[in-house]
A and B are shown apart, each in its own frame.
Chain A
Amino acid sequence: MSADFPVALVFLLGAVVVPLLHGRLRTAWMLLLPVAAFACLLTLPLGESGQVELLGQTLVLMRVDRLSLLFGYVFVLASLLNVIYALHLKDTVQHVAGLVYAGSSIGAVFAGDLMTLFIHWELTAVSSVLLIWAQRSDSSFRTGLRYVLVQLLSGMFLLAGALLHWRTTGSLAFGQIGLSGPAGVLILIAFGIKCAFPLLHNWLQDAYPAATPTGAVILSAFTTKLGIYALARAYPGTEMLIWVGTLMAAFPIFYAVIENDLRRVLAYSMNNQLGFMVVGIGIGSELAINGAVAHAFADILFKGLLFMSMGAVLLRTGTVKGSELGGLYKSMPWTTGFCMVGAASISAFPLFSGFVTKSMIMSAAAGEGLLLTWLVLLFASAGVFHHAGIKIPYFAFFGHDSGIRCQEAPRNMLVAMAIGAALCIGIGVFPQALYAILPYAVSYQPYSASHVVAQLQLLVFSALAFAVLMRTGIYPPELRSVNLDSDWFYRVLFASWAQRATDALQQARATFGRMLRSTGGRLYARIHRHHGPQGSLARTWPTGSMALWVTTMLLAWLALYYLP
């Protein structure tokens, strides 16, 4: 394969063939695609290639540097795990959508200009919504519609920003953009939607729990991390992002504590993890950027693993509501174990992946003297253990025994989870392997006695808080409910405004119609009175009266003529 062959095409062209294949041949083909793409990545030379001339612009399909390569690696890895996890499915739509989604995300990562980025950006939106619609229910259809509208809106911001950027700078190159002009603001909004910035975030919690069991796993890997990549590329060191990220890390954990749908809990905790990455990008130092992208890498794996375990629960029991589950460790011991590895990783236990990546961001924040940010991130670290590390496994697999007895997850799901879990532990134990592919050289040492002890103290006492609150009955029980979030504005408030505006318009139309009819009626009646069959102006006059009037007029004329 030629070195400048766009890696995305491996998936995009490969996906076209999938519907034609069946049975083992399809399985083999789908497994081959990520492997071939990975081989492709290994042979890529650094630099720009795959230039295409279009409308007087040079589009760069492949810009290969350490940052894009890192995301390329992890996206390909995630796509392999996703393919394995979904092998039991007979649903062609999901298979094809998953591959196109992975391919377009990879294409976006290697895009060297904003137009190529935009095209792949939109393709991720359109392909990923199929993973929600594949649930084939009325409510998932509506959720998918909301999701894809938000994603396409992000694309519109990107397009508008890109064109403005081109007008002002004369270049479409996708590099450092910064917040210096309106173009930068528009593009930041586009990226912010994908990264789930506060108030732009709710598509995430709305859509991911509505996807199919496998779809949610695939969704969790790409869209938001693509946003993080784009942010790291275009806005490193933008101070505003520190505050945005700090807020993002903190507020979702409150929601996560009271949320009943465990996949939505994961969506909130993803929002919180994205906050850490956004802080890292906002700080912009080499350590912070390394930390942000390393954490994105680790997050794709451990969040994928957690979504996989919840997907397996959903597949086997038909629900992921905390209020309905409990005691599943008896039926699904392997899934329980893998879920706990994911939980330990996201909570940043020593020897698990989150420990060696999140701490880089914390350390960078402390190094810059950002006291408030550091304290909030520490609070969020304790909180994430609380709601994702303990709550998810506890309410699903332990806690009150729901009496549900089901089968263990299908074998392909277990294999995918096992690989994911092994990678989470592998990164935690051998962080140098991940550090070696980060954008900047790493001198950071995660395993110092003081760091390990501090982290263990934080986590063990968070766990103790959970245990104490649980045993004293203070901990809020899982209840069947929904919690209002920013989607309330467009699902209820704006919808009711729109409804009211429609009603008012209809009323106005009806009133106008009535007025028109009554005015018209009166006008008609008047015309009818004068010109109708009985109207004075429509009467036929006898010839005699005509002759009389003519005679009268002639006499009048004669009289006037002879007057002096």
Chain B
Amino acid sequence: MSGPRAYWLDRSENVSKIYRGLWLFGLALLAVDLALHKHEDFAFAAWFGFYCLFGFFACVVLVLVAKRLRGVLMRAEDYYER
């Protein structure tokens, strides 16, 4: 038996590479807004970076609100069995 196989993702610097890559990709997509004029039914949706900001902050708000909800809604796993 050889030792446990080493995986590329096990190394934290590789995870950081993915993280940085994702930022680069995101910023590149943001840059596309400079060149591309979007056709939108609502005029504000065609603003520069609308979808980027909306996507980012929607998720941050979602997580922060959900985290707060835990304080109200979370119970022990056997709550209903007791």
CA–CA, A94 to B69, complex, Å? 37
Say whether A469 contacts B80, CB under 8 Å: no
Interface size counted on chain A using CB atoms at 8 A: 54
Closest to A139 in B: B81
Q: Contact residue range for chain B?
A: 35 or more
Interface: B13 (CB within 8 A): no
Interface: A461 (CB within 8 A): yes
Beta-carbon contacts of B28-56 to A below 8 Å, as 1s and 0s?
01101100111111100100010111111
**CB < 8 Å: which of A329, A369, A458 contacts B55?**
A458
Point out which of A367, A458, A485 has the most chain B C-beta atoms below 10 A from its C-beta.
A458
Interface: A560 (CB within 8 A): no
**CB < 8 Å: which of B63, B74, B79 contacts A474?**
B63
**CB < 8 Å: which of B37, B49, B63, B75 contacts A482?**
B75
Residues of B within 8 A of A455 (CB): 51
Residues of B within 8 A of A465 (CB): 55-60, 63
Residues of A within 8 A of B37 (CB): 450
Chain B interface, >50% SS class = helix
Say whether A456 contacts B81, CB under 8 Å: no
CA–CA, A172 to B31, complex, Å? 59
Say whether A386 contacts B77, CB under 8 Å: no
Contacts A476-B63, A481-B76: A366 and B55 contacting too (C-beta < 8 A)? Answer: no
CA–CA, A103 to B66, complex, Å? 39
Within 8 A of B (CB), among A184-220: none
CA–CA, A69 to B44, complex, Å? 40
Say whether B51 contacts A479, CB under 8 Å: no
Residues of A within 8 A of B62 (CB): 253-254, 257, 379, 382-383, 386
Say whether B54 contacts A476, CB under 8 Å: no
Say whether B32 contacts A453, CB under 8 Å: yes
Closest 4 CB pairs of A and B: A465-B59, A461-B55, A366-B41, A257-B66
Residues of A whose CB lies within 8 Å of any CB of B are 139, 253-255, 257-258, 329-330, 363, 366-367, 369, 371, 374, 378-379, 382-383, 386, 398, 401, 448-450, 453-469, 471, 474-476, 479-485, 491-492
